Amino acid sequence: MAKPQPSWGLTGPEVPPSPRTMRTLRKIQSHQVLTTSSALIANTQPPLPSDGLENGPPTAPVGASVRARAHRRARSNSDAATREAAATATAPAPTQRRPARKTGSGIGLKRSVLENLLRDGPQNGNTREGLQELKYLVLSTRVDADGDGMSSYRVYLWLILLNIPPLPTDDYLALVHRGRSPAYTKIRNDTFRTLATDPLFKRRVTEASLIRLLNAVAWKLHDSKTKSRSRPSSRRREMELLVNTPPRIAEDPSVPDDSSMGSSGDSTIYVQGMNVLCAPFLYAARSEVEAFALFHYFVTRECPGYICGTMDGVHKGLRLVDRCLEIVEPKLAAYLFSKGMQAELYAFPSVLTLCACTPPLPEVLHLWDFLFAYGPHLNILCIVAQLIRMRDIIFESPSPNKILRSFPPLDAKEIIALTVLLVRKIPDDIYVELINHAK
């Protein structure tokens, strides 16, 4: 995935120079082409401006498919030119033009300040000030997107905010070609129901791409855990030999120190819910490689406590939901507690998936823009904000558990505005716990 280095001075890739180039890169890097040879990729004609991940693998030979699409496109352009000439000859006002349709890609539209900053980089090369300005723009303005939540630069914004370096495509392909990971069966049991009722997601992301990405991340986590277990064992043997003391059975280095490991070793490389957490990355990214880089970084650096065998980070987050709600809205918290409604009973999916389990997906993406700019730990307060917005309905219900089974549709703008106000009410010691709860 060769992309020019950004003028940011960061390690994330920059936005390609033109929408046509971006569409071409996206098609080349889609899951359909990941399984083809490099020779076929080199011979592929510029693709049609369609989503690269919404169609399944081609049933006809790739070469024939490419030739057929190129032929149809040439004929379409020719017909369009003929129709345009005829319309020009008969139109009473040839100078009038139909206004451009807003697609969020920037075509025919003036670029926003946020997009210009992403494209041009910070002034005078001051990365620190540029990042602060970038975060403020995310908070004060929304990322330009169409009705489906698609944006031409959102994935690059995420890569810059999370400071993720470019990942060679071959590294991802090597993990894919290793085949089934130890967690493959668990992954297959979850992927088919990932956002199953969301037509936007089902139209754009295939189950095959979701399986490949999760399986690749499982291999990556498996390798890192294997190395981390082997290194302490070697050091322990060296120390025992140094003091000439035979090892005891209870201290056998061959026994893994991680008590959360299951019998097959897959309990800490995949947990249920990772499929939903992965879904927005695949939806927003322009290639599987970008989605893999984002998702792997996120689960290993931002919330490793969410994917360990016991999900300690998720349970800490749930307890923080109760504590923060008690601080900012004590009456609502007391009412829920009197009904036996702790966050463990209703907020588990929202904590684990950063609210990705609550539709609509375009609003989830806007919420994630804010979380990646100011910290994923603020998701806890976003959940509290949703509860506060439901306050009147909860008080009127004698059985709030029925209401809290599914939260109302997300309104990212309102939730973010309320979350910013709630931050001021959280004591410093609780806020530190928020920051560290997923580590």
**Residues 204-255: pLDDT tens digits?**
999 999 999 999 999 999 998 888 666 544 444 444 434 443 333 233 333 3
Encode pLDDT of 321-373 as tens digits.
Answer: 999 999 999 999 999 999 999 999 999 999 999 999 999 999 999 999 999 99
Check residues 250 and 197 and name the one with the higher pLDDT: 197
Tell me the average pLDDT of the chain: 76
pLDDT of residue 220: 95
Q: Is the pLDDT of residue 387 over 70?
A: yes
What's the mean pLDDT in 256-267? 37
3-state secondary structure the chain: CCCCCCCCCCCCCCCCCCHHHHHHHHHHCCHHHHCCCHHHHHHCCCCCCCCCCCCCCCCCCHHHHHHHHHHHHHHHHHHHHHHHHHHHHHCCCCCCCCCCCCCCCCCCCCCCHHHHHHHHCCHHHCHHHHHHHHHHHHHHCCCCCCCCCCCCCHHHHHHHHCCCCCCCHHHHHHHHCCCCCCCHHHHHHHHCCCCCCCHHHHHHCCHHHHHHHHHHHHHHHHHHHHHHHHHHHHHHHHHHHHCCCCCCHHHCCCCCCCCCCCCCCCCCCCCCCHHHHHHHHHHHCCCHHHHHHHHHHHHHHHCHHHCCCCCHHHHHHHHHHHHHHHHHCHHHHHHHHHCCCCHHHHCHHHHHCCCCCCCCHHHHHHHHHHHHHHCHHHHHHHHHHHHHHCHHHHHHCCCHHHHCCCCCCCCHHHHHHHHHHHHCCCCHHHHHHHHHCCC
Q: Is the pLDDT of residue 90 over 90?
A: no
pLDDT of residue 352: 96
Q: Is the pLDDT of residue 83 over 70?
A: no
pLDDT of residue 66: 36
Structural domains present in the chain: 1-38+107-166 (no CATH), 167-302 (no CATH), 311-439 (1.10.472.80)
pLDDT of residue 231: 55
The band of 398, judged by pLDDT with boundaries at 50, 70 and 90, is confident
pLDDT of residue 317: 97
pTM exceeding 0.85: no
Q: Is the pLDDT of residue 85 over 50?
A: no
pLDDT above 90: percentage of residues in the chain? 58
Check residues 29 and 36 and name the one with the higher pLDDT: 29
pLDDT of residue 70: 38
The band of 8, judged by pLDDT with boundaries at 50, 70 and 90, is low
pLDDT of residue 124: 83
Q: Is the pLDDT of residue 79 over 80?
A: no
What's the mean pLDDT in 88-115? 54
The band of 51, judged by pLDDT with boundaries at 50, 70 and 90, is very low
pLDDT of residue 214: 97
Rounded-to-integer distance, Cα 297 and Cα 294, Å: 5
Q: Is the pLDDT of residue 113 over 60?
A: yes
Q: Which of 55-59, 99-103, 123-127, 228-232 has the lowest mean pLDDT?
A: 55-59
The band of 399, judged by pLDDT with boundaries at 50, 70 and 90, is confident
pLDDT of residue 268: 77
The band of 67, judged by pLDDT with boundaries at 50, 70 and 90, is very low
pLDDT of residue 122: 87
What's the mean pLDDT in 108-137? 86
pLDDT of residue 109: 55
What's the mean pLDDT in 18-36? 44
Q: Is the pLDDT of residue 299 over 90?
A: yes
Q: Is the pLDDT of residue 294 over 90?
A: yes
Q: Is the pLDDT of residue 63 over 80?
A: no
Q: Is the pLDDT of residue 295 over 50?
A: yes
pLDDT of residue 230: 60
